[in-house]
Amino acid sequence: MTAEQSAPEPEASLVDEPEVRQAIADGDRASVSMIVAEHPSSPLAWTELADLADSEGRAIESFAFASVAVDLAREQLAAGGWQPGHLVSWSDEPNRAYLRALDTQRRAAESLGLDERATRLADELATADPEAPARIASEFTPTQLITIVGGAAMLFEPAASAEAIVGDPIAEPAATDAAAGED
């Protein structure tokens, strides 16, 4: 190796957390806080909590939870020899917690009007892994966490009155003369 060549940066990696991943997979939105309480040093658990708050439009909580996730991840990475500005590869699944937390914190900062902070976080994310922002945008959008049905109980509880079920009838669409719009 010549003086002009430099050794490749060692690739940093977070600790794999299979028990946290499993708890998240087995749980629901309501159980995320409990998972964090059971694994308070887990960047992944805090990232999930931040994403949940983000999906519910709670920018202040999302920012705070993502900040904790980022700090915990940086501590783990630094313990493994990582330094800010070094690669944190998306392809290593445990690292996704850090990269997602940076992006969630960035989105919350934008929402809160912390534009300079949002720019720094976007730069940090792009430096950690240039492909991460696009991967996060396609695989971990906040809307993926939004509940589609208000609650399962609504499906099974009888309505308070027939009016709640029946409502106003919907009028049939008026038939149009097929020839009227043709040229």
Rounded CA-CA distance 111/151 in Å is: 27
What tokens were used for 81? Answer: 């020899």
CATH number at residue 123: 1.25.40
Look at residue 74 and tell me if it is in a domain.
Answer: yes
Look at residue 172 and tell me if it is in a domain.
Answer: no
Rounded CA-CA distance 61/163 in Å is: 39
Rounded CA-CA distance 45/15 in Å is: 13
Q: How confident is the model at residue 143 (pLDDT cuts 50, 70, 90)?
A: very low
- If one counts the domains in the chain, the total is 1
- The answer to whether the pTM exceeds 0.85 is no
Q: How confident is the model at residue 9 (pLDDT cuts 50, 70, 90)?
A: low
Look at residue 161 and tell me if it is in a domain.
Answer: no
Look at residue 170 and tell me if it is in a domain.
Answer: no
pLDDT in tens, 86-107: 999 999 999 999 999 999 999 9
pLDDT in tens, 116-133: 999 999 999 999 999 999
* Rg (alpha carbons) of the chain, rounded to whole number: 23
Does pLDDT of 165 surpass 50? no
Look at residue 22 and tell me if it is in a domain.
Answer: yes
Cα dihedral across residues 51, 136, 114, 122: positive or negative: positive
- pLDDT for res 157: 44
Range of the domain at 54: 18-145
Q: Tell me what percent of the chain is helix, strand and coil, each rounded to the nearest 5.
A: 60, 0, 40
Look at residue 24 and tell me if it is in a domain.
Answer: yes
- pLDDT for res 57: 94
Look at residue 4 and tell me if it is in a domain.
Answer: no
CB atoms within 10 A of CB 31: 14
Does pLDDT of 56 surpass 80? yes
Provide the residue type at 73 as one letter.
Answer: A
Look at residue 87 and tell me if it is in a domain.
Answer: yes
